[in-house]
């Protein structure tokens, strides 16, 4: 089996492809759900590390105060999508500066916070 990372409509998936022989075509076997971009690959800027929304949703709660010191992988807010609560974590150590408020609706790749 060979593993591949593919992107479909802006979402990344890890898939395994098994070779069955010359007569049959390979079939894709999903290995994981979409990779959340906010915690996996944050963009770095001169003003801090961006925390982006991995999918559309509702900001259910901010778990730390604006300006608070946070540690890498510490949950900083809860993003509700499809009736499920998702913790969004800090991608690095630093001071959080939120770009959203509780109750806001956000789209994919929306800037949620900067960690500087």
pLDDT tens by residue, 3-19:
777 878 777 777 777 77
User: Starting from the edge strand earliest in sequence, which strands make up the sheet with 111-115, in order?
Assistant: 44-45, 48-52, 111-115, 94-98, 69-70
pTM (2 decimals)? 0.60
- Of the two residues 77 and 26, the one the predictor is more confident about is 77
Domain ranges of the chain: 1-35, 36-116
pLDDT tens by residue, 51-75:
999 999 999 999 999 999 999 999 9
Supply the DSSP symbol for 109.
Answer: T
Of all helices (H) and strands (E), which one includes residue 39? helix 37-40
Question: 36-116: which CATH topology?
Answer: OB fold (Dihydrolipoamide Acetyltransferase, E2P) (2.40.50)
């Amino acid at each position: 089996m060979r593993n591949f990372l593919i992107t479909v409509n802006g979402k990344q998936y890890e898939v395994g492809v098994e070779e069955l022989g010359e007569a049959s075509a390979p079939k894709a076997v999903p290995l994981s759900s979409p990779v959340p971009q906010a915690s996996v690959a944050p963009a770095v800027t001169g003003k801090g590390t961006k925390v982006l929304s991995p999918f559309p949703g509702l900001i259910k709660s901010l778990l730390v105060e604006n300006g608070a010191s946070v540690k890498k992988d510490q949950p900083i807010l809860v993003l509700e999508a499809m009736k499920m609560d998702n913790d969004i974590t800090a991608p690095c150590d630093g001071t959080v500066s939120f770009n959203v408020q509780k109750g806001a609706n956000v789209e994919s790749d929306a800037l949620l916070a900067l960690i500087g």
